[in-house]
Chains A and B, each alone.
Chain A
Amino acid sequence: MVVSRGRPGGPLARLAAGAEVPVFVARGLGAGDTEARLLGTSAVRVVASPRQATVLVVAGHVPPGMAEPLARVHDQIPPPRVTVWRTGAGAGALDAIRAAWPQATVVGPGDDVAATVVHAYREVLLGRRPTEQPRLADVEPAEWRGVGPYGQGGSGMTGGVPYGRPMAGRADDLRDGLSLDVVRVRMGPFLPAFPTGLVLAVTFAGDVVHAVEVDDLLTPGDGGLGAPLPDDAADSRGDPAARPVRIDGLERARCRHHLRWLARLLRLYGLEALGRRVALMAAAPVPEDIAHLRNLHRRLERAWVLGRVTAGVGVVTGDAAAQWGGVTARAAGLAVDARSGSPAYQALGFAPVTHEAGDGRDRWRQRLAEATQALELAGRAGDATVDDDHIEPAGQPAPADLAGALGTALTGQEWGDALATVASIDPVVHPGAGADRPARAEAAA
């Protein structure tokens, strides 16, 4: 830092140490309730871009394919920067992280991540702890070719690769046929609005999605850092020791999952304070919260809150909805629910909730209705259990042809609508866990 007043430890830094901590959350697999806990803390502000953050919080398991994007996100945070890892209690997980990220603070599932974040932030600002150095090597992306000083000249229009990257190519526009530039951007795994681990290579024509491809960074296998956190209704693998699965734990996990999703959706629409309120609710919902959920539903229905902006966005109906299954299908009117066939659920009077239109509005209505229903079932369930065949995962399963399904849903939409569609579908994107594995149940509340 050039000006001494602004250096960590100086008077400005001491004043800044009392500010709201800007945090960027990099969600790995099985991130659990980390983001919701941080959202619900008033001393912490979760930001949408790493440039505005000071603390990087990594949660869950980061597969080897996502290690380099994680390092890049870490480097994109301007100094002073500090990292906090939150991992599950896997074999040797903490030691592996400490070996790979020696300057980071590592916490386990039982620790208070928000307090750790605030403490680490203060330490680095007061100069008691050094700011972390960049992790990736300082290598220019591509060599300059070309003749002139700005990379111009030589063969081809721009003389090669100006400033290390090529310029955009052209394609005919979908709507009016003008042949203008299309830009292919790989929206990476740690974009906060995306589901965990989704990498979309979006081809933009202006701000409209021209084409979409799905990249896979989540190849299963050994390696990677961290372990999934427990109590993640969508991502965790079913524990054979936890059979038979209790209904009340399962339904409470479902409610928590849907509320955490709703907090992220509200933040996507700019309603940060309301998202914070929902995140606080998502921490530990009890059956008494059913009235709160109904109030919340009424509040969100108002036209200026979520009633109008989500209507008609990202309509997924018919065969496409059947391909998705899960919440998306039920929001489109298809009453497919694995719980319908279970005698234990039928004894509790369960009937699947559906909506008709299959747009963004019906998807959040569906999730909120299912969360309310889940709390009601949990309150009545007692000690009832359900067998493996009839467990309905809380997360949205991804279809086998995820690229095709997303392509159909997103192509031709303006980017804000496309992102809202992806966020409202929120598929669980990783091989092996989620789509065909049951949601993890809790032994006790």
Chain B
Amino acid sequence: MSVTPAWAAVAGVAGAVGAGVYIAAVADRAVGATVAGERGRAGRALGGPFRAAALWLVQGRATTERPDARAWALAPALYLGLAAVAVSVVPLTRNVTAVDVDAGLVLFGAAQALAVIPVFPNGWSSNSMLPLIGAFRFIAEALSYEMPNLLALLSVSVPASSLALGDIVTSQHHLWNVVRIPLGLPLFLFAGAGLAFWGPVDLPDGADLGGGTQAETSGAHLLAWTTGRLAMLFAISAMGAAAFLGGWLGPVLPGAAWMIVKTVALLVVLVSSRHLVARVRPERYVVISWAVLIPLALVNVIVAAAVSL
């Protein structure tokens, strides 16, 4: 159990989240430009996130007639905070973890479960019908993706006999979990996209709700909200890289470099789903999640158990 100085841990997490958010934003723009058939200049994609953030800081922050101002203010704050907590449990290398606990997997699961809470007030607080529908839709979505997510994560702790992420990564030193527990990573990514409600599962902020929970937000609030979503995507990618792709394990490069490469790869996959897959219908998502994904996740756990005997 390593005890890192507090300032180093916080700085590390902040730096990681900042870098992750930037890479996700750039990847989003780049993939979007490619799908749209535009050959944009690379400089536009690289500088784009900063310019958009500057516009949000200049723009006034919108409000509505009778909102619940306190809950509305807390929504992006809590969401980004929980994304930071989720990132902090993931190890960079064997000896470098911001928050190194025995039950890192459970802490990640707790952060993910709590992340449902700030999304609802972002839609409800504005006292406007379209965001309200988005908020209630998200609750249905969240209740549906929790189980496949947790079960997929659980399956990687079976071969390691531990809930600590460091042990889970070291248990993959001869074979990565993505190979010996094949259903795990797809299930985790699909359910994890729901955690950041990104792309095809963007039910609370969808275009059919005029932007949904974002419809009444602008300015600094919108900046914080978007940063939170991208940070959550980064957290999912980091956890997926550690739990399924072997974390820091790899031949030539140093461990930290491998971890970064794997995280960025998963991040690009998650981010690009927005431009390639249409948004799902809420009812179908709930039915598929309960009737297909949970049985698959349960089968996956049994497979993981059989493999680790």
Contacts and interface: CB of A to CB of B under 8 A. Distances in A.
A15 interface: yes
Give the top 7 A-B pairs by smallest Cβ distance, nearest first.
Answer: A19-B51, A16-B55, A273-B35, A16-B54, A78-B60, A15-B54, A270-B279
A164 interface: yes
B8 interface: no
Nearest to A79: B60
Interface of B: 31-38, 40, 44, 47-48, 50-52, 54-55, 57-62, 65-66, 129, 133, 136-137, 199-200, 202, 206-211, 214-219, 222, 274-284
Contacts of B57: 5-6, 12, 16
Given A48-B211, A125-B58, A273-B35, 18 more contacts: A1-B58, A12-B57, A16-B55, A19-B54, A20-B51, A51-B217, A78-B219, A193-B210, A268-B208, A270-B200, A270-B206, A271-B275, A272-B32, A273-B275, A277-B37, A305-B277, A306-B278, A419-B208
B207 A268 contact: yes
A425 to B, nearest CB: 15
A207 B36 contact: no
A165 B64 CA distance: 13
A416 interface: yes
**Most chain B Cβ neighbours within 10 Å, of A6, A54, A417:** A6
Given A163-B66, A207-B137, A309-B281, A193 B208 contact: yes
Contacts of A7: 58
A18 interface: yes
**Most chain B Cβ neighbours within 10 Å, of A16, A76, A141:** A16
Interface string A257-277: 000000000011111111011
A155 interface: no
22 contacts: A42-B33, A42-B36, A49-B215, A51-B218, A52-B218, A78-B62, A78-B218, A80-B58, A80-B59, A125-B58, A163-B65, A165-B65, A271-B278, A274-B36, A277-B36, A304-B278, A305-B276, A305-B278, A309-B279, A414-B283, A416-B281, A417-B281
A191 interface: yes
A280 B36 CA distance: 9
A51 B55 contact: no
Given A204-B129, A273-B33, A416-B206, A304 B48 contact: no
A244 interface: no
Nearest to B199: A270
B207 A54 contact: no
Contacts of A164: 65-66
A126 B55 CA distance: 12
Do most interface residues of chain B lie in helix, strand or loop, or is the interface mixed? helix
Contacts of B58: 1, 6-8, 10, 12-13, 16, 80, 125
A177 B127 CA distance: 26
B209 to A, nearest CB: 8
Contacts of A309: 278-281
A218 interface: no
B208 A420 contact: yes
Interface string A40-53: 00100001110110
A197 B296 CA distance: 47
Nearest to A11: B54
A66 B136 CA distance: 31
A47 B276 contact: no
A51 B66 CA distance: 16
Contacts of B40: 42
Nearest to B201: A270
Given A19-B51, A206-B136, A273 B207 contact: no
B36 A270 contact: no
A270 B214 CA distance: 14
A185 interface: yes
A269 B62 contact: no
Contacts of A6: 57-58
Nearest to B52: A19
Contacts of B283: 414
B195 to A, nearest CB: 17
A22 B62 CA distance: 15
A320 interface: no
Nearest to B37: A277
B5 to A, nearest CB: 33
Contact of A19 (B48, B207, B279): B48
A20 B65 contact: no
B41 to A, nearest CB: 10
B216 A51 contact: yes
A313 interface: yes
A322 interface: no
A335 interface: no
B194 to A, nearest CB: 14
B188 to A, nearest CB: 18
A350 interface: no
Contacts of A193: 207-208, 210
A306 B206 CA distance: 16
Given A18-B47, A204-B129, A269 B55 contact: no
A15 B51 contact: yes
A49 B210 contact: yes
A82 to B, nearest CB: 12
Contacts of A272: 32, 275
A183 B129 contact: yes
A304 B288 CA distance: 14
Contacts of A79: 59-60
Contacts of B218: 51-52, 78
A36 to B, nearest CB: 13
A12 B54 contact: yes
A438 interface: no
Interface in A237-290: 267-274, 276-277, 280
Contacts of A51: 62, 211, 215-218
**Most chain A Cβ neighbours within 10 Å, of B52, B136, B216, B284:** B52
A76 B126 CA distance: 14
Interface in A84-99: none
A415 interface: yes
A19 B25 CA distance: 14
A76 B130 CA distance: 15
A271 B57 CA distance: 27
A304 B209 CA distance: 21
A30 interface: no
A47 B219 CA distance: 14
Contacts of A18: 47, 51
Interface string A94-123: 000000000000000000000000000000
B206 to A, nearest CB: 6
A49 B129 contact: no
